[in-house]
Amino acid sequence: MEPDKVRAPNIRDVARLAGVSYQTVSRVLNNSESIKDTTKQRVLEVIAQVGYRPNQAARALVTSRTRTIGVLTSQTAHYGPTTSLHAIEEAAREAGYLISTTSLATSDHAAIVDRLEHLMRQAVEGLVVIAPQVRVFDAIRQLEISVPLVTLDSTRRDDHRSLSVDQIAGARMATRHLIDLGHREIVHLSGPQDWIEAEARMTGFLREVDDADLTTHPPILGDWTADFGHHVGRELLRYRDFTAVFAANDQMALGLIHAFRDAGLDVPGDVSVVGFDDIPEAAHYWPPLTTVRQDFAEIGRRSVGMLLAELRGEVESSHEQVRPELIVRKSTAPPRI
């Protein structure tokens, strides 16, 4: 039986013992001019005392600049992550940086760790994560990320910077719109509950109906696809105890409308439907879809600005939210009496 191995000290151990943030330790390793000499000396003394050895990426930062930003994403076929990624690439290029992108084929813990370590081995100077599943952020918390990190679409509060659309506010806007039209029997078709934004949209829906003293159907867990929306629409037609549906994204809303129209129902005459995201096709659905707009491109551009500011030592950890916008089109109307 082998003796237990002693865990090597990591960057967070150094930060705790030196009484600074882990970003400050990273800047010391990066020879940042923004760090006071007294702080730098204290950090270096702790590094020597505990025998901390920076990983390959940190050593590369000390000796040279790669001018590369790593991006971890998932499901790049989805409109939101794809749009944000393109904006990140453009903003980084304008700032003189390259982008190294890796995608998650699966969302199991081992795959997430592998992709993050893959980026770190490339000595990226910072990371942007646009994979908003709960387990991705669980993995991030467990890893030693020694470079500045910005997460997108995260409502969680960790000690790195995050940028997101206020998903709860957006869901409340959509739900309030239906309530103001007179709807009292509203169904919510949610996204997968391992997605942080799906959880937040469900929370917003439930808060709004609760504030209106409405009883509602239990939310239905979906998978973001139009096929699933179509399936749910056909199942809901067996009961017809609702007058409106709030779908957690536009693709599922499209499937719902398809199912309702196939059954001879008029949208919005018989059933109102609201989506979320405002994908480019939403204005061309029939009827044009009422939805909640997220500016994915702006989120991507701002994430690069936040990351570069931290690389310059200008900011510490913070969390920013962008307010969404309700776009009212032709898929919603007052319920028939």
pTM of the model as a whole:
0.76
Instruction: Give the SS3 label for residue 335.
Output: coil
- Domain containing 120 equals 68-165+296-322
Examine the pLDDT at 56 and tell me if it is beyond 80: no
272-274 and 319-322 strand pairing: unpaired
Q: Would residue 245 be called left, alpha or beta, if left means φ above 0 and alpha means ψ between -120 and 50 degrees? A: beta
- Do 226 and 125 belong to one domain? no
The SS3 of residue 272 is strand
Residue 331 resides in a domain: no
Under 8 Å between Cβ of 203 and 248: no
Residue where the block lists tokens 């009496």: 337
- Is 82 a domain residue? yes
Evaluate whether 274 touches 332 at the Cβ level (below 8 Å): yes
Q: Is residue 335 part of a domain?
A: no
The answer as to whether 100 is a domain residue is yes
- The 8-class DSSP code of residue 30 comes to T
Q: Which two tokens stand for residue 19?
A: 């009484």
Give pLDDT, residue 156. 55
Residue 128 has a pLDDT of: 92
For residue 159, give the CATH number of its domain.
3.40.50.2300
Give the sign of the dihedral formed by CA 96, CA 102, CA 103, CA 108: negative
Query: Residue 6 domain-assigned?
Result: no
Instruction: Assess if residue 61 is contained within a domain.
Output: no
- How many domains is the chain built from? 3
Residue 123 above 90 pLDDT? no
The pairing of beta strand 325-327 with beta strand 126-130: unpaired
- Average pLDDT of every residue of the chain: 86
CATH number, residue 39? 1.10.260.40
Based on the domain organization, do 172 and 285 belong to the same domain?
yes
pLDDT over 50 at 1, yes or no:
no
Phi and psi at residue 210, in whole multiples of 5°? Answer: -70, -40
Confidence of residue 2 (pLDDT cuts 50, 70, 90): very low
Is the same domain home to 259 and 308?
no
CA distances from 41 to 23, 27, 28, 72 (A): 16, 12, 9, 34
Higher pLDDT, 27 or 61: 27
Tell me, yes or no, whether 225 and 78 share the same domain.
no
Which whole number is the average pLDDT over 98-125? 84
Range in 64-73, 90-99, 154-163 the model is least confident about = 154-163
Ramachandran quadrant class, 311 (left: phi over 0; alpha: psi -120 to 50; beta: rest):
alpha
Whether residues 171 and 282 fall in one domain: yes
Task: For residues 93 and 104, state if they share a domain.
Answer: yes
* Same-domain check for residues 79 and 187: no
| Same domain? 89 vs 37 | no
The proportion of the chain whose per-residue pLDDT surpasses 90, expressed as a percent, equals 48
Residues 220 and 244 both lie in one domain = yes
